[in-house]
Structure 1
Amino acid sequence: MSNWHKERRELMQLFVIVRIFPWLIVFSKSYYYSFIRIAGAAFSALVVSWWILERITPNSNFVTVLTQRVTNYAVWLILLLALGVMISRFSVLVSKLN
């Protein structure tokens, strides 16, 4: 892989972090955040384990193929996260009013 592709991948990872973290910070005040945090950590551990296996062996695996397919829907996934955060914050506001 050329240096440009490696740098592009790193920039894309930085872009994803910059787009997702503000929503996660807002979502952290929610009742559902602990569930999302634990599920996200478990999913990350699984993906990292498969990526390590891919680096050790020369073969790609289904996790690599799956993550490449999911990145095609990154914008929709971020919008879904934002919608979930807004619904969660709205439900907290409604419960405080009642």
Structure 2
Amino acid sequence: MNDEYENDEVSDLLDDLINAEPACDSTMAVLFTGPDIETDEERWIREATAKAICQTRCPARAACLSYAMALDPEEGVWAGYTAEELRDVRPLLTFLPDRRANEVA
């Protein structure tokens, strides 16, 4: 797959995420990505709070998960999962077909 195709796919996934009207917005970025310095306890509490927003009231959760899987983030909370949790489940999702493969342009 070439970089241009990958960039177009990620851009399309971001559009899908935005159009799904997520419960979070840019004013909440530090909640989902964290400050530069925090204790383990502070990170755990912050991540739990971010996950709760995703899991209880976000209509964009599926779109966010697709976007996060394409990005393969190193940090943050995405669709109710930490970046580490996403890496752990990635092998379990390999059976899923490319959701755009059958779409008509």
* TM-score class normalised by the smaller sequence: 0.3 to 0.5
Tell which structure's C-alpha radius of gyration is larger: 1
Give the TM-score, by structure 2 length. Answer: 0.31
* Higher RCO (C-alpha 8 Å, min separation 6): 1
**More helix as a share of residues:** 1
Give the TM-score, by structure 1 length. Answer: 0.33
